[in-house]
Amino acid sequence: MRTGSKILLQCCAALLLLCAGSDLARATGADTDTVPPVNTAACFAAISASDDDRIVSECADVIDNGRSAKADRIKALSARAAVFTRKDQIDRAIADYDIMLQLDPSLADIFNTRGELWWKKGDRPKALADFAAALKLNPDHAAARANHKALARELERLGALMAVAGKPSFNCATARRPVEKTICASPELGDLDRQINAVNGKVVREAQNPRERQALQREQDEFLAQRDASFGKPGYDLPKAMRERLDHLLELARK
């Protein structure tokens, strides 16, 4: 084949490829000049009207449409997440905040808000991480700082409670009475004994005068003496007696 013919064939082939590519681009929406913009009017009107049901329905198109402007998607996601929170649909709200932070990981307010939802769900480690992320982005974020401090204290308190969970107010290593050994062998009874001792101490400390304090402490001593003497006898229910004593002390503490 002549050189000129080869060149002509190559040119024709290139032209065909170019045309095919153009057709494909139009078919897949790559020709953005002909694609209409995403209509946000209905969503934003629902947000302005604070209409929760319409926000969920109308803003879905803005959120799910990949052509939506980032700012529009964030606004729609924020509004819908707030609706889910008000409806106590915490998982759905967190999912929307996840998308927002993927779109813009610099949103300190959203880290703090999502952290509050994790805290509400009981996932304290994730909540603490979100509060810390908010503070890293904005060290002056007052709400995140307060949340981080409160949650850290709660975790410390829970850790302290776990350390004594199931343990009575006395040292089990030196327990000699059968009733004390039984209490030491039962986490439930251990918790009851510790609570009785703690609430009794509070009631005695807050008594109005020395005579009242003495009377309250004498009542506790009599309960312990009766407990020790009655344990093991037919008809004596140790858990019931301890629960009744705790209920009585709690009632005194509320007065």
For residue 242, give the nearest of 203, 202, 194, 184 by alpha carbon: 194
CATH class of the domain at 108-164:
mainly alpha
Count CB neighbours of 87 within 10 A: 13
DSSP annotation of 100 reads H
**Per-block average pLDDT, block size 10, for the chain (255 residues)?**
48 45 45 66 96 96 94 96 96 97 97 95 91 95 94 80 84 94 95 92 91 95 97 96 94 84
Q: Is 87 helix (H, G, I), strand (E, B) or coil?
A: coil
For residue 42, give the nearest of 52, 31, 55 by alpha carbon: 55
- State how far the Cα of 113 lies from the Cα of 101, in Å rounded to an integer: 11
Q: The tokens of 253 are what?
A: 């503490």
Q: What is the pLDDT of residue 99?
A: 97
Max Cα distance, the chain (Å): 124
Instruction: Give me the residue spans of the domains in the chain.
Output: 41-104, 108-164, 172-254
Q: What is the pLDDT of residue 164?
A: 80
Q: What is the pLDDT of residue 52?
A: 96
Q: Is this model's pTM higher than 0.75 or not? A: no
